[in-house]
């Protein structure tokens, strides 16, 4: 019984010191996670009880059983991280939305250009057809005139040759 009286306070003291050491580990780990400079885990992972336990190198059940204030602080930090993530996502979405609007405007402008070029192409095609038609009529006229000149030349030649014979 005497040993029990001596051992009991020593055990209580050991438990108390162990809890204090664990609390200190958890507070330091929580601080490192909140600043984004963890020593053991990757900094890109979401803050959670498991992540805190892994960073502090303690069992996660210990956090739930004995360190409710740390758990509360972790929840606050987690919510803060979620808010920052939402802000980041929102700003990213706004940027993407602006880019989409810009691209849509560029596409609309390009479409208007294509329509204008199509109109111009149609007008030029019509002019080309008209010019080709005019050109073929003029070629036919030139050909007819050449035939006529040739025929007139032949007639003139015949008349001259008959005049010489007489």
Question: What percentage of the chain has pLDDT greater than the value 90?
Answer: 35
Question: By the 8 A CB rule, do 33 and 77 touch?
Answer: yes
Residue 106 has pLDDT above 80, yes or no: yes
Q: What pLDDT is attached to residue 166? A: 64
Helix (H/G/I), strand (E/B), else coil: 38: coil
Three-point CA angle 138, 142, 148, nearest 5° = 140
**Rounded average pLDDT over 98-119:** 96
The per-residue pLDDT for range 51-83, each reduced to its tens digit, is 888 888 988 888 888 778 888 888 888 887 777
Residue 1 has pLDDT above 60, yes or no: no
Question: By the 8 A CB rule, do 66 and 22 touch?
Answer: yes
- Of 70 and 106, which is predicted with more confidence? 106
The per-residue pLDDT for range 125-135, each reduced to its tens digit, is 999 999 999 99
What confidence tier does 12 reach under pLDDT thresholds 50, 70, 90? confident
Cα 147 to chain centroid, rounded: 72
- CA atoms of 137 and 130, how far apart (whole Å): 11
Cα Rg for the chain, rounded, in angstroms? Answer: 49
Residue 139 has pLDDT above 90, yes or no: yes
């Amino acid at each position: 019984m005497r040993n029990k009286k001596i051992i009991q306070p020593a055990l209580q003291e050991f438990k108390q010191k162990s809890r204090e050491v664990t609390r200190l580990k958890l507070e330091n780990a929580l601080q490192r996670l909140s600043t984004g400079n963890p020593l053991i885990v990757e900094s890109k992972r979401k803050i959670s009880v498991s992540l805190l336990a892994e960073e502090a190198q303690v069992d996660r059940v210990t956090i739930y059983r004995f360190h409710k204030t740390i758990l509360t602080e972790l929840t606050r930090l987690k919510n803060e991280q979620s808010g920052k993530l939402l802000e980041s996502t929102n700003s990213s979405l706004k940027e993407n939305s602006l880019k989409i609007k810009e691209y849509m405007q560029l596409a609309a402008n390009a479409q208007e250009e294509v329509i204008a070029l199509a109109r111009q192409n149609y007008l030029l095609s019509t002019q080309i057809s008209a010019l080709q038609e005019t050109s073929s009529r003029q070629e036919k006229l030139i050909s007819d005139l050449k035939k006529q000149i040739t025929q007139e030349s032949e007639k003139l030649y015949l008349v001259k040759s008959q005049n010489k014979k007489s």
